[in-house]
Amino acid sequence: MWLRLILTLTCLFISTPSFAHGTDQHVLGTIMAISATHVEVKTPKGQSVDVRVNKKTRFKDESNPKGANMPAVGDRVIIKATKGEKKSDPPLLATEIHFSAGKRVPVPMQPLPVQ
């Protein structure tokens, strides 16, 4: 009897987290290309992921939360997206895009000639 109870509780606790996340997916990486309809992200593993953007997509700048900035090529992003259920739906549709400025490498200055 105790074995059945323990087995039942174990199955219950293992299956619960899988229901909590829903159909959302996360994409982490660096923006390689961006337009009004999509964002192309290069993941840390080197894969290129295309995520569609629409008017409902929210952009959140981590360095300036109150600003209305848009991400740019080279920015680091975490995209919360939903996966399309129908064949006519886009594969991934962004609901939120959290971004922060990538490391900007300063342009080296030209050496001045010595007189």
Domains parsed from the chain with CATH numbers: 22-100 (2.40.50.320)
- Mean pLDDT across the chain, nearest whole number? 79
Q: What is the pTM of this model?
A: 0.64
- At residue 36, the pLDDT reads 87
3-state SS record for 47-88: CEEEEECCCCCEEEECCCCCCCCCCCCCCEEEEEEEECCCCC
Over residues 51-66, the pLDDT tens digits come to 999 888 888 887 777 7
